[in-house]
């Protein structure tokens, strides 16, 4: 596999600037010398952050929403953001009011990327991810297609299956697009659902870089599967605590 990528092939990264996953993806891409044409980010105010949190509370409950915030803070490995890394590398960072907006569609159409890469973003309208010539890639913390949704790895562990990470093309469904690369993650002594998902984010960034190279080199072979899997919402906080206690006591599922 080549260690660099032609400047003629362009990627655009979509990210919330306050989400450390963006920093991890950008750092990985810079190390792999994958040129990024631009970072498109949703401008964040305190009001917008608060509204995002309230939506999570309504959707998943207060404890689960707080757990997701805690997980994001745990993942932060630097005071820098993706915007800081982009600035130092001379990569433009362009704000939009909302990802799912005509403003964003017009911007992406003007950038004409070969490939969109999601570092962190909401569920996108087809009009957004269809702006890229070759599609849009996302790293999912779970083994696709069997385990879709934010609760994928937690429920895999609960059912005695391996946690994992998968890179897939984005389509109109939730984690239902063609899978490009996937790996199972080893459960280590002392692991928790958080620590496993942290590793999934880091490994997902590395697999995203691999996938970009495969797309560029026309080496993409999607993984065939006979199942559509199941969508798993965020596991309730009290269930996560039970699962973590099981893991800490050595109650690792037999499949692992």
3-state SS, residue 25: helix
Catalytic, out of 64, 93, 138, 153 = 138
Cα separation, 86 vs 91, in Å, equals 5
Cα separation, 55 vs 106, in Å, equals 27
Is 140 an active-site residue?
yes
Catalytic, out of 18, 140, 153, 198 = 140
Is 100 an active-site residue?
no
- Count of beta carbons in the 10 Å neighbourhood of residue 170: 26
Under 8 Å between Cβ of 187 and 105: no
- Count of beta carbons in the 10 Å neighbourhood of residue 46: 7
Phi first, then psi: give them for residue 220, nearest 5 degrees. -70, 125
Catalytic, out of 166, 168, 191, 197 = 166
Task: Using alpha carbons, list the distances in angstroms from residue 189 to 77, 195, 221, 235, 251.
Answer: 22, 11, 34, 22, 10
The residue behind tokens 């919402």 is: 233
Is 244 an active-site residue?
no
Catalytic, out of 18, 60, 161, 175 = 175
Phi first, then psi: give them for residue 227, nearest 5 degrees. -115, 150
Catalytic residues: 138, 140, 166, 175
């Amino acid at each position: 596999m080549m260690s660099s990528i032609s400047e003629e092939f362009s990627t655009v990264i979509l990210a919330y600037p306050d989400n450390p996953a963006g920093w991890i993806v950008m750092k990985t891409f810079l190390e792999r010398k994958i040129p990024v044409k631009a970072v498109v980010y949703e401008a964040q105010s305190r009001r917008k952050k608060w509204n995002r949190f309230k939506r999570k509370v309504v959707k998943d409950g207060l404890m689960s929403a707080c757990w997701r915030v805690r997980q994001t803070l745990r993942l932060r490995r630097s005071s820098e953001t993706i915007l800081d890394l982009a600035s130092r590398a001379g990569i433009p960072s362009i704000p939009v009011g909302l990802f799912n907006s005509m403003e964003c569609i017009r911007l992406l159409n003007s950038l004409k990327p070969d490939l969109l890469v999601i570092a962190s973003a909401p569920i996108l309208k087809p009009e957004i991810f269809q702006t890229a010539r070759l599609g849009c890639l996302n790293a999912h913390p779970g083994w696709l297609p069997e385990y879709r949704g934010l609760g994928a790895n937690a429920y895999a562990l609960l059912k005695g299956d391996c946690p994992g990470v998968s890179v897939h093309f984005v389509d109109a469904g939730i984690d239902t697009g063609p899978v490009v690369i996937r790996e199972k993650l080893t459960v280590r002594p002392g692991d928790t659902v958080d620590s496993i998902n942290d590793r999934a984010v880091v490994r997902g960034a590395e697999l995203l870089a691999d996938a970009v190279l495969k797309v560029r080199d026309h080496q993409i072979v999607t993984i065939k599967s006979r199942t559509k899997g199941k969508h798993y919402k965020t596991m309730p906080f009290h269930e996560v605590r039970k699962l973590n206690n099981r893991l800490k006591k050595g109650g690792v599922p037999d499949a692992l």
